[in-house]
Amino acid sequence: MSTTADNYRAPVIARATDASPISETLQRNWEGAGGWRGWLSTVDHKEIGKRYLITAFAFLLIGGLEAAVMRAQLARPNGHLLSPEAYAQLFTMHGVTMIFLYALPVLSGFSNYLWPLLLGSRDMAFPRLNAFSYWVFLFAGLFLYSSFVLGKAPDDGWFNYVPYASREFNPGPNIDVYALGMVLLGVSTTVGSINFIVTLIHTRAPGMSINRVPILIWGTLTASVGNLFAVPAVSLAFLMLWMDRQLGTHFFDVTGGGQPLLWQHLFWMFGHPWVYAIVLPAMGMVSDGLPTFCRRPLVGYTAVALATVTTMVLGFGVWAHHMFATGLPLMSLSYFSASSMVIVIPSAVAVFAWIATIWTGRPVFTTAFLYFSSFVLLFVIGGVSGFMTAAVPVDLQLTHTYFIVAHLHYVLIGINVFPVVGGIYYWFPKFTGRLMNETLGKWGFWTMFIGFNVGFFPMHILGLAGMPRRVYTYPSGLGWGLWNMVATVGSYVFAIGIAMFIINFWISLKRGKASGPNPWGGPSLEWSTSSPPPVYNFAVIPTVASRYPLWEKHMDDVSGESTIHEGLLLDQGRETIGTSLLDAEPKVILRMPGDSYMPLLLSLTLSLLFVGLLLHDWEGWWLVGLAALATVLAGIRWLWPLPSLGETAEMSHD
């Protein structure tokens, strides 16, 4: 039986850094096996975060290559580099890759790496779930690309409307791969979101009350809560589509009494919140990065945090603005048009906060600052074109034209890619202990910025001139040739900018200047520990007393004294502190699980289950059965209560 002594402990408060002797104990507690075993079994959030970043970037490059081939086709009228079938697969995979395999995962990478460091904790709330979420993402990405090599990739656009996606009109494996792959990917997104939510609720440093967390935390938290309520819609829609195709149900099939429009409702009920999920964390990165380079706190912290949440809440009530041309009743068109326009308000609040921060600060023009500040401009352009298409009559004219292509690229590249590249410049020293090259960085920035605008702004004009999206070629004499050539050249310049960034990345990885813990004079907790951080993050858990714990000495009007290198010493195994939801008062000493193969094993069995479902005509059922059994067994093994985690009556000590 457990005793009171096992169950309760008064933690020691100590002064220490990762240079103190105690760090050896902590290192021993937290480090993994090393070698390939360690690689396969690690649950360290920093390792997982880096994997997310690199994998997402690989997908960005693949999606970029697909776009480059399409731009080559469209550069001149009557291009015939690609057949219509190949073009359909390319634009579909380009969208799927960028939206699902790059845009959110890359932000998950940042958040996985940074969250525990920003929160003054030693890991995410569920370290094994974190590893699982990465592996499932990776396998789902491979799954979605599995039919690409056979020339049978998904080919109905990323929003995959029925009846084109129905078996009758699309009998190959193309759509089945997409449908099942998206359900699998949804598992990864969902468990990742749960992990972020519980991490915020439960594992902040003492004193980091909810109104002191960095805006990136607000962004990722909002995105995660949004995902919790949005992802089921798309997983369900894809499962129902797969059932229509393979099991003979009639959800979307008119002849059986189904409704094709149900697909669009379910897809966009997910799709629009998702758009915010893939930009809000990036906006959070800018909200945290700009103050560092403007040498002042963010203007309107509370307003920006509330704007973040408001955007997502409103984002659940605007989905039908993707469906203005489908013949919905006028009443609902009016409602969705109005609600879409209302989103301008929280967006503008954030924009003015960023502008005021720059305006009233003393900006240091680093490469990261250039990316963050140009993001504001691109966001405004993308926002204005979005506002335009929120008006029903304008949308009826512009829907399914290149105007929409221009809009969504300004939004996704402007609000996601620019902050992401800026974020790499900003946090690269923390990830690696080295600085990226600023000269090459600035050249790369201007190449990207100019290339992007030259490449994508003309698409507005093409859209207004009536060029439909997703056409594999177009005849001459329509006046589209010139702007298409400009767009192709611009987008290639943009690609060169990306290449310069990658070259800078590789060179700096090996030869960058040593950065020290805080090269930019940043205000938040991640800058208080070594670069790269030790495996246990913090030798003692800091105590936080303000929003900018590292700036308290430099600012007159900040009250509060955070103690960074003095705090709870939790050294009896893998331990971190669990705190209360609003005020972050210490509530419990959390025992964290060690490295484990279970996340990898479970994601493999789950992926095999989906492979089994994909195999046609029930040949896969034996595989489905075996994989389901293995998944259950691996899940039970994973959840088995351990004395070392304080999950059983008999508690053990390391």
Site for other proteins in 556-595 (CB under 8 A): 566, 568-569, 578, 586-591
Tell whether residue 391 is a contact of other proteins (CB under 8 A): no
Nearest-10 crossing angle of helices 215-246, 174-202: 150
Tell whether residue 197 is a contact of other proteins (CB under 8 A): yes
Residue position matching structure tokens 């929160």: 119
- Say how far apart CA 315 and CA 162 lie, in whole Å: 24
Residue position matching structure tokens 């004009």: 461
389 token code pair: 């298409």
Please give the residues from 174 up to 193 whose contact with other proteins meets the rule CB under 8 A.
190, 193
Tell whether residue 247 is a contact of other proteins (CB under 8 A): yes
Tell whether residue 14 is a contact of other proteins (CB under 8 A): yes
Residue whose CB is less far from other proteins, 2 or 83: 2
Question: Which burial class, exposed, middle or buried, applies to 128 when counting CB atoms under 10 A from its CB (0-12, 13-18, 19+)?
Answer: buried
Is the C-alpha dihedral spanning 266, 272, 273, 278 positive or negative? positive
- Say how far apart CA 497 and CA 5 lie, in whole Å: 60
**Least distance from other proteins to the Cβ atom of residue 633, Å:** 11
Through-space distance between the first and last CA atoms of the chain, rounded to whole angstroms: 18
- Measured at the CA of 282, the angle between CA 281 and CA 285, to 5 degrees, comes to 90
| Residues 6 or more apart whose Cβ sits within 8 Å of residue 242 | 176, 179, 180, 183, 613
Phi-psi region of 650 (alpha: psi -120 to 50; beta: other; left: phi over 0): beta
Tell whether residue 629 is a contact of other proteins (CB under 8 A): no
The 205-234 contact track toward other proteins, x by CB under 8 A, reads -----------------------xx-xxx-
Q: Nearest 10 degrees: CA dihedral of 526, 529, 533, 537? A: -80
Q: Which of 201, 388, 485, 615 lies at the binding interface for other proteins (CB under 8 A)? A: 201
**Least distance from other proteins to the Cβ atom of residue 262, Å:** 6
Q: Which of 9, 37, 400, 554 lies at the binding interface for other proteins (CB under 8 A)? A: 9
Please give the residues from 320 up to 379 whose contact with other proteins meets the rule CB under 8 A.
none
**Least distance from other proteins to the Cβ atom of residue 201, Å:** 5
- Say how far apart CA 287 and CA 116 lie, in whole Å: 18
634 token code pair: 């691996």
Residue whose CB is less far from other proteins, 517 or 593: 593
Residue position matching structure tokens 């600052």: 369
Tell whether residue 27 is a contact of other proteins (CB under 8 A): no
Please give the residues from 120 up to 149 whose contact with other proteins meets the rule CB under 8 A.
125-126, 129
Three-class secondary structure of residue 199 per DSSP: helix
Tell whether residue 269 is a contact of other proteins (CB under 8 A): yes
**Least distance from other proteins to the Cβ atom of residue 571, Å:** 10
Tell whether residue 602 is a contact of other proteins (CB under 8 A): no
**Least distance from other proteins to the Cβ atom of residue 228, Å:** 5
CB under 8 A: which stretch of 103-111, 252-260, 488-496, 602-610 binds other proteins? 252-260
Q: Which of 318, 539, 600, 613 lies at the binding interface for other proteins (CB under 8 A)? A: 539
Tell whether residue 628 is a contact of other proteins (CB under 8 A): no
Tell whether residue 262 is a contact of other proteins (CB under 8 A): yes
Tell whether residue 10 is a contact of other proteins (CB under 8 A): yes
What number of chain residues touch other proteins (CB under 8 A)?
A: 73
Alpha helix locations (H) across 15-80?
22-30, 35-41, 45-74
Residue whose CB is less far from other proteins, 222 or 401: 222
Q: State how far the alpha carbon of 278 is from the alpha carbons of 99, 274, 413, 423, 475, in Å.
A: 8, 6, 11, 15, 36
Q: Which of 75, 162, 175, 266 lies at the binding interface for other proteins (CB under 8 A)? A: 266
**Least distance from other proteins to the Cβ atom of residue 624, Å:** 13
**Least distance from other proteins to the Cβ atom of residue 576, Å:** 10
